[in-house]
Amino acid sequence: MGAKSTKYNRLGGLHLELSRYVFLCGETIEGIIHFSLSEEIPPSTLEFQFKGKEKTHWQRTYSTGKSSTTVHYVGEVYECKVKYEVMSWDHPIRPGGYSIPFSFKTQDSVAGSFQFIKGTTNGYIYYAISAKLYNPTEGLKGKTNIYMVNIPTTLNRNVNLVRNAQLVTWCCSNKGKLEFTLRLPKDTFFDTEPIEFLVDIDNTNGSLAVKKLAARLFYRVRIMDNSSLTNMTTTTLCKRKYSVHVDPGEKLLDSNAVKLNMDLGFISNDIANMHSIQAIIIQCAFMLEVEIITNGSCMCCGEKSRIELPIVIVPAITTGPRVQPTAVEQPPGWNPSVFNMVNLEYDPKYEIGGPKEEPNEDQEGKIPIYRNLSKKKDSVTELISQDQK
């Protein structure tokens, strides 16, 4: 039963067989633990483990005079780690093949699998199930990676953000005020669907014509090391400009609002393993920014006519590793002893070495916090301050 998750030794090998690798939070993983023995072993215990881990890394180079030093920052914590005793033998186990069907119901709330790589900066959240047959002197073990998807069950709809901008020309003369609103029918999107949004423009108190709208979709990733030092990365995914004309004294509101969309299809590969997340040492937030471009406005002494709204990007169910489970290669004459199904379910009392407390609130105002994407997104905290670009 050869597989990458199998480790063989002189006793034999152990392998986990699954029908699929991608699971939603709260779903049940079903599979079979196979092990083969080439010789008799003492009474042993079969153990099952499900774990998720976050890992981060970045580096910085510091110069002192003519010399420089590169410092590596590393973070590694368990997102979850549970262990169960599946079976225990009180007698020696004879040579041969053994198959134990199992099911494991995952927890409803866990950060989804995640991967961010930019140069030497990276952050990962990955999950694996493993099994170990052991006794005081020796043992067998096998492991296979799985992909967890966390999809919110509640959405915020009709999200609005209003901004007033004081318009000023290069000669710093007052050109009135422009009011505009960014509206989203919802704030959560799969990474394969377009982001639709509306912009209300009220130029009745302004004296500069609106000529364009500029939209930008970007994300901020904040990672931490084990000393709580942080690294922030901001990346623009796409930019769009849209022609629109609103003369002074005019307005486009409600049913006449400017209707726009930003298709994620062409960047879906770039974010296939990324999504909005609040984990222990990894945070990722997506932002939609809309800017009003007028004739003769000056940003040096006027107010920026720009709005940022946080949106939630979640993986489509089809997202995940493209690798499909391969058929188990059965050894010649494979005729295992098959045991009854063992049913397991996540329970915090089986946690070992996991996080002891909830992540802290974001105090820097750079990333909105998503406390529990699988249950409720009242978790999005207000951005105290924003990057002004």
pTM of structure: 0.80
Mean pLDDT of the chain: 80
The CA–CA distances, whole Å, from 271 to 108, 148, 187, 354, 361 equal 23, 15, 17, 28, 25
φ, ψ of residue 117 to 5 degrees: the values are: -135, 125
Q: Over pLDDT 70: what percentage of the chain? A: 74
What is the amino acid identity at position 267? I
Q: Report the alpha-carbon distance of residue 28 to residue 341 in Å, rounded.
A: 13
- Predicted confidence (pLDDT) per residue in 272-307, tens digit: 688 888 899 999 999 999 998 888 655 555 556 888
Q: Which residue has the higher pLDDT, 327 or 123?
A: 123
Q: Which of 65, 291, 19, 35 is nearest to 142 (CA)?
A: 35
Could you tell me the pLDDT band of residue 379, with boundaries at 50, 70 and 90? very low
Give the CB-side neighbour count of residue 284, counting CA atoms within 13 A.
26
Q: What are 130-142's pLDDT values in tens digits?
A: 999 999 998 999 9
- When pLDDT is averaged across residues 332-344 and rounded to a whole number, the result is 87
Paired with 288 in beta bridges are 217, 309
Least confident interval from 39-43, 77-81, 293-297, 374-378: 374-378
Q: Is the pLDDT of residue 251 over 60?
A: yes
Of the two residues 27 and 168, the one the predictor is more confident about is: 27
pLDDT at 66: 84
Which domains are delineated in the chain? 12-150+317-350 (2.60.40.640), 157-314 (2.60.40.640)
What pLDDT score does 9 carry?
65
pLDDT score of 72: 95
